[in-house]
Chain A
Amino acid sequence: MHVVKKQEIFPRDPNKTYSLMAIVDGDSLQVDKDPGDTVSSWPHLVLRELLVFLVVGIAVVAVSLLFNAPLEEPANALHSTNPAKAPWYFVGIQELVSYSAFLGGIVAPAAIVLSLLFLPYLDRNPAGVGVWFAKERRVATSIFTVFVVAMGILIVIGQFLRGPNWTLNLPWH
């Protein structure tokens, strides 16, 4: 008789995760045993997600009831607003642009985006996954914090300290 060699279509891989795709009749060796440290998604995960949704929804509606979105005069190509500010998340870039349009507007954003895109391929240090501010990653954590704080400072300067004609108005003056 012709014997078909049994071949594993998907080779066993210790790094794979397995997920439940269907329920079939019959018992398996795993009956009454939980895969360690896991809980069923329903209800543990799904209810928490629902809770987050409620909080987000209520917060958004509450803010919208309290504060109106700004609407200025109709667009007028004859008069620039003074000062003309970008939305807050671009105001940091605008602050850089007010020193040099090319360096601040093209070079700096391109450098930021490119270094973020390549970050996981540059930082190959495998240590410190799954822990906030892992000790093994001090250098990476510090560099990234400098970037975040710098963005924050630029945004605060641009948003709150720049007045008409883009002059610096320190609040204690």
Chain B
Amino acid sequence: MSATVYSIRDSIKNLPKNIRSSVLRPVEGTPEQARAAAVFGNVFLHIHPARVHENSLRFGYTLGLGLISFYLFLILAISGTLLMFYYTPSTQLAYHNMKDLEYVVSFGVILRNIHRWSAHAMVAAVFLHMCRVFYTGSYKAPREFNWVVGICLLLMTLFLSFTGYLLPWDQLAFWAITVGSNIAAYAPWIGEKIRFVMLGGNEVGQMALIRFYVLHVALLPVAALVLMGVHFWRIRKDGGLSRPADR
């Protein structure tokens, strides 16, 4: 019966320990078991297998490029969400918001720089990651589908950059999107319609800005996140990272 007897004093004394163990779900066992539990008992780490092949750790093999792409995406999501607190998708206000970020918001200019440079870096990292996957032959069976998911992620990354490019509403933005949307209009049959729906009108104006904004802050990031989930899940289901045949 002693197990059920408790005193409020003991509860208080053990408070830190009890909170800690309730959060971390520690596993008692051999060191090996505890290490495994550290991975699969943690919702953020359980995407990893408990054990990985040594080849997957070789930096010279992956160059860490997929991981770097993912980290840049996280940095972009966080810095972008912060920028949203000051940004209004209006042709009257957008440019002034950018100026405010630059001159009056604390750390606004750094936040904007982080968002812009990470976006450039992510395009580069994703492209280089694709090159690494190609040159190591990692798209071969059974990883064909993950390559296709990867191409979709590459397209999402490019669309995210393109839609984000319009938001500062400066000359660079305006004319780049004018040119870009007119390229789409050359598509046979539906080109003009695509352009009209993309811009929400005949010219780059308020309707185009709000459309690009919604795509940039909601639709495309969610799509990219879902695709990344599939991408990572497939890596495990396809047997972990590719590696040379065992000798």
> Which residues of A line the B interface, CB within 8 A?
15, 17, 19-23, 35, 37-46, 48-49, 52-53, 56-57, 60-61, 63-65, 67-77, 79-81, 84-90, 93-94, 97, 101-102, 105-106, 113, 116-117, 119-121, 123-134, 137, 140-141, 144, 148
Contact = CB atoms under 8 A, between A and B. Distances in A.
A59 B236 CA distance: 30
Interface residues of B, number: 99
B155 A113 contact: yes
A72 B172 contact: yes
A69 B175 contact: no
Interface in B85-116: 91, 95, 98-99, 102, 109-110, 112-116
Interface of B: 27, 29, 32-33, 35-40, 45, 48-57, 59, 61, 64, 67-68, 71-72, 75, 91, 95, 98-99, 102, 109-110, 112-118, 120-121, 123-124, 127, 130-131, 134-144, 147-148, 151, 154-155, 158, 161-162, 165, 168-176, 178-180, 182-184, 186-188, 191, 203-204, 236, 239-240, 242-246
Contacts of A72: 170-172
B236 A19 contact: yes
Scoring A21, A42, A125 by chain B CB atoms within 10 A of each residue's CB, the highest score goes to: A42
Nearest to A63: B117
B51 A71 contact: no
Scoring A23, A41, A46, A64 by chain B CB atoms within 10 A of each residue's CB, the highest score goes to: A41
Nearest to B203: A77
A9 B165 CA distance: 52
A120 B162 CA distance: 27
A45 B56 contact: yes
B45 to A, nearest CB: 6
Nearest to B75: A60
Contact of B48 (A41, A60, A101): A41
Contact of A129 (B99, B204, B244): B244
A75 B174 contact: yes
A19 B186 CA distance: 51
B137 A134 contact: yes
A45 B36 CA distance: 12
Given A17-B240, A45-B52, A77-B203, A119 B147 contact: yes
B193 to A, nearest CB: 14
B141 A126 contact: yes
Contact of B57 (A21, A48, A129): A48
